[in-house]
Amino acid sequence: MKDVHSQILSKLEDQPVEIRRLASKALELSADNSESAVVEALKNWVREIVKSKAQAS
Amino acid sequence: MILRRIVVENFRQFRGEQSIAFAHGVLGDGQNVTVVLGENGRGKTGLFRALMFCLYGDQVLAQDEDTKKEELRLVNSIALADASGEGAPVRARVRVDFTHNGIPFELEREVKGYLQAGRQIEQLERVELRYQDNGGNAKKTDIPTDIARIINKILDKRVREYFLFDGEKIEDLTKASAAQRLAVAKGIRCLLDIDDLERSISALSRLTDFLGKEYSKVSTGEYAQTINRLNEIQNNLESLNTHLDEIDSEIVLGEDEIRHYTAEQAKDSEAGSLVAERQRMDEQRANLEKEAGELLVQMKERVGPLAVLLAEEMVEDVYQTLDDKRQRGEFPAKLRKDLIESILEQRECICRRPIVPGSSAFDAIIEWKNHAVDEAVEDSAMNLWRVLSGLQGRFEDLRMFLETTVQKYSNLRNAIETAHQNIESISEQLGSDPRADNSKLESLRKAAEARVIDGKAERLKIEDEIRDLELEQSTLKAKRAQLEKKEIEKTELAERVALSAHTQEALAAVKSEFTAEIKTQLANDASAILQSLLDAEGRRMLRRIVVEDNYSLQVHDPWGKPFLANISAGQRQVASIAFILALARAAAGGDVLEMPLFMDTPFGKLSWQHRENLINVIPAAAAQWILLATDTELGRREAQLLMRGGSWGGFYVLRGLPDGCTRIEEVDVDEALTMLGEVEVTE
């Protein structure tokens, strides 16, 4: 993980775990992909994160 | 990036192969200053140009704004004139050796020049980068885009002007203009390394928008409306059934009365035969009505299929269209949308090959997904095809059924009417009996019969109403089941919208926080550096550099008032350098950034005190300082200061040759004092 990503995520420590997970994925994808490719990949990730939250509760 | 050596061959004024080895010392310490001295026109800017050409492929510099691109020549024109006599092109070459994070790099770029009808034509020829990877393996690439990517990672093209600049132009950084604000904002953004963060925020914004639109498609309030209507129907059914029970009680009472009065009438011998005949007729009418009722039920059951007769042509058209598509294999599709989505999610093809986002295969699959039909739509289309397929050839049967049933029902209604008239006729005879008792009995019987008939009619009406409501209830229950499924999806979709929007907001807040922090840090660092660079007068007048909200730079006086408009060109240059050194320090996390400060014409507008301060401060504040100076700005006094600081490690003089070319001569630093004169300083 890039150092700046860790700094960003450390500022999100007070946020719910789902926001931290999605933010982390967005940053990871943004490092190597175009914005459109990030949007497409995030569609799956946001679904996945909401599903796992529902299963956990 | 630490520059080690630049080699130029037939580039601009430099004929043949010549080189400069840059002093690099140890990061932030040791001999890290190189001075290249030359009169105007000898090639100082040519060296700056060589560096920009080799690193970024730039053929034009910012200071060339008044020169036409076609007039700029990179290939040495004397070498070209000589070679053209022999009919050969000349290659100009620049090689820059540098290290970055301890890894050595060699970058070489060539341009070919030739004469055509007296005009000098130039073509970019070759670029090659040699370096070691993290494992110490030798690597080589000649792909321009790969090279640009690697060099940009080392020194981003967008911030190069902060480290490789013309000293006299750098004061623009402190001139109030939109371009200046953009430059400062750009520097801060690059410094923060928040490209990924900005791309994430932007992507999440697009995702929130997309999910919001999806949610608005399913969120119509239909589920709530369906639930309300089902509750309403349930209440109505309960109340109608209660009413039905009341009517039934009334009918039973009425029928008891009829039976009682009929029995009384039958006791009379004369009227007895008429009453018996009416009873027979009444039973016949009841049977006929029962038969007609059954026929009506049959007809109602066929209303659905019979309605198809009204749209016979349309049904056949739709069936034909669907059948054609099915035969062409358009549906059911060979690949389902859910499979494509699974491939995208797992980033792996069914043949196990990886699918990389941004690759052409990935884009093709996205395109494919956009054209794929949802599973539900495809299933519905197949069901419709099956139903329509079953209807084919049944139109004639339906038509026959309709004609015979309507005829039969009509006959039954006629028979019922005849029975009714006969009953009425007998009742009239009984009612007009001259004996008062018989007449009264018939009148009471008729009243009871009327109540029963009204009750039965009311009952039929309520039964119809109940049937309609039950039908609606059953349809709505099926709809509720579907909507419940959608509702679960909708709730999940609403959660996705909220998660995307909240993540976007959280990251945007982080960006604002980062930006505010870096602005404060830059302002503090730049102000401290400014104080160390200013002369006594400047320190009295100027107190602090401030990065405004709109990213413009401002200089405040000791009373916190903006003072930028009143400062001299030299003070502007010093303020700009202070800001650049602060940027470099922030980029290195408070240490010395591994970047050279490559300054063309560094002291032109500076007072003696400013020069002294720069010479004292920069060698320790920058990893490497390369000065391209004229002998009118760097004299014995400046050289003494540089030598005293112990950081001066390289000295080169650009000598003019009779043919107009330049020779680079390395001179021992210790000899500098003997060859440099006094410089007259004016600011």
- Residues B51-84 have pLDDT tens digits of 989 999 988 876 676 666 667 889 998 998 888 7
Q: How far is A23 from chain B (nearest CA, A)?
A: 6
N- to C-terminal Cα distance for chain B? 33
Tens-digit pLDDT profile for residues B527-542: 999 999 998 889 999 9
pLDDT band at B519 (very low <50, low <70, confident <90, very high): confident
Could you report the per-residue pLDDT of B264-279, keeping only the tens digit for each?
888 877 778 888 888 8
Dihedral pair phi/psi, residue B588, rounded to 5°: -95, 10
B240 in reach of chain A (CB within 8 A): no
Query: Which pLDDT score is estimated for B351?
Result: 78
* Coil, helix or strand at residue B29: strand
**pLDDT value at position B28?**
52
Of the ranges B14-18, B317-321, B475-479, B514-518, which is most confident?
Answer: B14-18
Q: What is the mean pLDDT of residues B294-309?
A: 79
List the one residue out of B558, B567, B573 whose CA is nearest residue B172: B573
More confidently predicted of B134 and B176:
B134
Residues 96-155 of B with CB under 8 A from A: none
Over residues B499-508, mean pLDDT: 92
Summarised one tens digit per residue, pLDDT across range B324-363 is 888 877 777 666 677 787 788 788 877 778 888 778 888 8
Q: Is residue B401's pLDDT more than 80?
A: yes
CA B412 to chain centre: 72
The DSSP secondary-structure symbol of B5 reads E
Sign (positive or negative) of CA dihedral B391, B392, B397, B399:
positive
Contact of B423 with B285, CB cutoff 8 Å: yes
Contacts of residue B248, Cβ cutoff 8 Å, sequence gap at least 6: B455, B459
Cβ contacts (< 8 Å) between B344 and chain A: which residues? 40-41, 44
Q: Which of B642, B610, B612 is nearest to B626 (CA)?
A: B642
Interface A:B, Cβ pairs < 8 A = 103
CA atoms within 13 A on the CB side of B335: 14
> Which band of pLDDT confidence, cut at 50, 70 and 90, is reported for residue B88?
confident
CA pair distance B335, B349, nearest whole angstrom:
13
User: How many C-beta atoms lie closer than 10 Å to residue B183's C-beta?
Assistant: 19
Average pLDDT, chain B: 84
3-state SS assignment for residue B353: coil
- For residues B293-309, average pLDDT: 80
State chain A's mean pLDDT as an integer: 90
- Gap between the Cα atoms of B54 and B64, Å rounded: 17
pLDDT at A1: 54
Residue with more model confidence, B388 or B476 = B476
Residue of B nearest to A10 (CA): B510
Mean pLDDT, rounded, for B546-574: 84
Contact (CB<8Å) A48/B345: yes
Q: Which positions 248-287 of B are in contact with A (Cβ < 8 Å)? A: none
Q: How would residue B90 be classed by pLDDT, with cut points 50, 70 and 90?
A: very high
Two structure tokens written together for A26: 């967005």
Best mutation site among A39, A45, A53 for testing chain B: the one with the most B CBs within 10 Å? A39
The three-state secondary structure class of B604 is: coil
Reported as a pLDDT band with limits 50, 70 and 90, residue A3 is: confident
Q: Of A11, A38, A54, which has the smallest distance from its Cβ to B203's Cβ? A: A38
The number of residues in chain B equals 683
For chain B, say whether A51 makes contact (Cβ under 8 Å).
Answer: yes
CA distance B675 to B639: 10
**Average pLDDT of the residues in B668-680:** 79
Q: Choose between B287 and B301: higher pLDDT.
A: B287
What is the reported pLDDT for B428? 86
Asked whether B473 and B311 are in contact (CB, 8 A), the reply is no
Task: Give A35's contacts in chain B (Cβ within 8 Å).
Answer: 199, 202-203, 206
- DSSP class of residue B671 equals G
Residue B683: pLDDT above 60? Answer: no
pLDDT reading at B285 higher than 80: yes
Q: Which two tokens stand for residue B9?
A: 């061959």
Q: Is the pLDDT of residue B27 over 60?
A: no
Residue of chain A whose Cα is closest to the Cα of B207: A39
Give the least confident one: B108-122, B228-242, B313-327, B334-348.
Answer: B334-348
User: How confident is the model at residue B339, as a pLDDT?
Assistant: 77
Q: Is the predicted pLDDT of residue B666 greater than 70, yes or no?
A: yes
Higher-confidence position of B351 and B27: B351
| Residue-level pLDDT at B681 | 60
Instruction: Calculate what percentage of chain B has a pLDDT beyond 90.
Output: 27
3-class DSSP assignment, residue B11:
strand
For B128, B230, B296, B300, the CA distances from B471, given in Å and listed in that order, are 80, 11, 17, 13
**Which band of pLDDT confidence, cut at 50, 70 and 90, is reported for residue B180?**
low
> Could you tell me if B650 and B58 are in contact, meaning their C-beta atoms sit under 8 angstroms apart?
no
User: Span B279-291, mean pLDDT?
Assistant: 89
Find how far residue B193's CA is from the centre of its chain: 20
Residues near B485 by Cβ (< 8 Å), separated by ≥ 6?
none
Average pLDDT over residues B662-683: 80
Instruction: Kindly tell me if the per-residue pLDDT of B445 is higher than 80.
Output: yes
Using a pLDDT cut of 70, give the percent of chain B over it.
Answer: 91
Please name the residue of chain B whose CA is at the shortest distance from the CA of residue A51.
Answer: B492
Give the pLDDT of residue B528. 92
| B 361-420: CB under 8 A from A | 362, 366
**Domain residue limits, chain B:** 222-313+373-505
d(C-alpha A30, C-alpha A45), whole Å: 14
Asked if residues B649 and B32 have their Cβ atoms less than 8 Å apart, the reply is yes
In this prediction, residue A47 carries a pLDDT of 93
Contact predicate B649/B31, CB 8 Å:
yes
- List chain A domain ranges: 3-56
Interface of A with B in 20-49 (CB under 8 A): 22-23, 26-27, 29-35, 37-44, 46-49
What is the number of residues in chain A?
57
Q: Bigger pLDDT: B138 or B165? A: B138
d(CA B338, CA B369): 9
Confidence of residue B7 (pLDDT cuts 50, 70, 90): very high
Residues of chain A with C-beta less than 8 angstroms from the C-beta of B345: 44, 48
The pLDDT, as a whole number, for residue B65 is 66
Give the integer Cα–Cα distance in Å for B103 and A5: 24
